[in-house]
Amino acid sequence: MPMEAEPFKLDAVGLSLPIPKGARADVSEIGGVVTVQISSADKLWVTNIQTPRARAEMLSVMQATDQLIEQFVKAAPIQSAVTGEVIGTEAVLIETRRELKIDGSKEPGERFTFAIPRQNNPKERVVQGYSVFRPLPDQFVIFEVVTGEANWPAAKAAYEIMVAGAKFEDPSKLIEERAAAVGTGAAMLKQWTSADWIKAIHEDQRWYRLYEPAPSEAAAGNAGANTDNATEWGYRGVRYWRGTRDEVARPGINHDITPTNPEGTLCQIDSRIFIRRGGTALGSSTGTSTLQIVDSRATYFVADDGKQELWSLVATMGAPVAMNADSTNPAAGTPAPPAKTGGGSVQVFRETGARSGRTLTISLSAPGEPASVIKPLIQGEGYLSQAWAQLLPRMMVRMGIGRQASQEAGFYVYRTDARTITLRRDTITPDPKGRGMFVVTTRTREDPKGQVSVLNAEGDLLRTELSDGRVWKPTTPMELFRLYKSKGLPTGGDAPASSAPSTTAPSAPPTPKPTPEPAPTPRGRRVPGVER
């Protein structure tokens, strides 16, 4: 079975493992617990990796496995038609194995596999396999594979290769590497002056197209050469300017500089996003899917002394719109009449962050959730403001980092998707072909595979490849408009009403950029004595 050239890494627990070619790995974090979902390229199986912590009673791997098996037996009971009493179980234990060993785990793991009737179709069975490890006294790592019974042979082969190839690294080594990276990043931040950051900004608005290369082009390493065959996922516009803190709320208006309204740099990012649910993917010749248009504007400010920052993020999501595949243009989808779901309402998401020194306060507002305030803790050195985080790869190039040899630096950055401060590691490498370009790989806890950016000697972005294979590339408003019109994709006239600031590109209506539906929460059985 062909595997990806680079193993998937989950630094949170020191885990690395091979994954099948084309498989997608999504990482999420809730309450400090990291979960991974690996989906096969053909969507026939899913492997979840859960990282629960052990509580004081310290269950052994054998005890945890026994309790998981007991839960499966109870989950599919056979009841007496006469008395209603449980007389058996429909769960079938099809595989059990003791003494499962992988590198770096001092305690042997255990594996078992059950087949249980599918809830919506009892005639079909779902196969769920588990491998349980405890690499550290207070840390469990649980692998779970889920698939239909007919697909079990193929899923089992991939699952066994992944688990057999898994390795746990020495936690002390990971801590040392992380500390070294953060130390390097903190030293850079101390060395770089506000004048250095100001010289690095570009005040012209720059536009970037997000697309998925056609499979044949991606395989040939010629991603995006033929724009007609690529699948369009959208755009964003980025600009910087000099101003004051108050311009986050009212950009472009002159304000007096005061201690509470310091001078600094602002960054504004406008984007349009499609969220797709159901149906078939855009680019197929049959079927429909529903798309929701999301407009967003993020404005970030950082004071020249770095001690204050403020940002505002507003996103609006319209009602779903049905998209019919266009058989005459396989790279496009055309809008059908608006879907009836959603009621035509516009949902508004808001995030406001304010920092003074090491105190960070973030206000959150989302549909269906009560307004909340969080205060992520800034620990140690190496914290990077939101405004400068957007500019970091360009800054590294312009400051001569990585000019002679590869160099890694770590920074702590607040992430909206995780709602916490997380470690970001950037590795810059000079172009091995000596063309004066640089490659910057950015990894986070939520995206361990990372994104790879190519920049020229001036620090201008030439392309960024995301971990899922999609690509950001510079473009112009007119080129965007022409491309989307030629593919029949929604432009400004198809956008829902929005209370967010307009994201219209100059001389062209805004264009959409779909993003995949978030991965579902991994299924899993709760082990008593283990906290998720």
- Domain of residue 137, CATH code: 3.40.1000.10
Tell whether 238 is covered by a domain: yes
Q: What mean pLDDT do residues 339-366 have? A: 82
- The pTM score is 0.71
The proportion of the chain whose per-residue pLDDT surpasses 70, expressed as a percent, equals 78
Tell whether 520 is covered by a domain: no
Tell whether 188 is covered by a domain: yes
Tell whether 329 is covered by a domain: yes
Residues 344 and 482 in one domain: yes
Q: Which residues pair with 455 in a beta bridge?
A: 438, 461
- Residue 331, φ and ψ in degrees, nearest 5: -95, 5
Residues 318 and 411 in one domain: yes
Give the end of a domain, one of 117, 147, 169.
169
Residues 319 and 447 in one domain: yes
pLDDT for res 216: 63
Residues 210 and 162 in one domain: no
Instruction: Evaluate whether 48 touches 523 at the Cβ level (below 8 Å).
Output: yes
Run of H or E including 72: helix 61-75
Q: Which residues pair with 515 in a beta bridge?
A: 275
Tell whether 65 is covered by a domain: yes
The CA distances from residue 71 to 66, 76, 160, 524, 528, in Å, are 9, 9, 23, 11, 10
Residues 153 and 209 in one domain: no
Among 212-216, 329-333, 360-364, whose mean pLDDT is lowest? 329-333
pLDDT for res 159: 94
Residues 195 and 261 in one domain: yes
Residues 156 and 208 in one domain: no
Instruction: Evaluate whether 302 touches 388 at the Cβ level (below 8 Å).
Output: yes
Tell whether 522 is covered by a domain: no
Residues 137 and 192 in one domain: no
The span from the CA of 429 to the CA of 424, in Å, is 17
Q: Which domain holds residue 86?
A: 8-169
pLDDT for res 463: 96
Residue 437 burial (C-beta neighbours within 10 Å; 0-12, 13-18, 19+): middle
The token duo for 438 is: 């640089």
pLDDT digits (tens, 9 = 90+) for 152-207: 999 999 999 999 999 998 777 878 888 999 999 999 999 999 999 999 998 789 99
Nearest to 170 by CA among 232, 216, 105: 105
Residues 413 and 265 in one domain: yes
Tell whether 109 is covered by a domain: yes
The proportion of the chain whose per-residue pLDDT surpasses 90, expressed as a percent, equals 40
Residues 157 and 192 in one domain: no
Q: CA end-to-end span of the chain, whole Å? A: 33
Strand intervals (E) in 202-332: 206-212, 231-244, 263-277, 288-303, 308-317, 321-325
Give the end of a domain, one of 143, 169, 195.
169
Question: In total, how many domains does the chain have?
Answer: 2
pLDDT digits (tens, 9 = 90+) for 55-109: 655 678 888 888 888 887 777 777 666 677 766 677 788 887 777 888 888 788 9
Give the end of a domain, one of 150, 169, 188.
169
Residues 193 and 163 in one domain: no
Residues 373 and 511 in one domain: yes
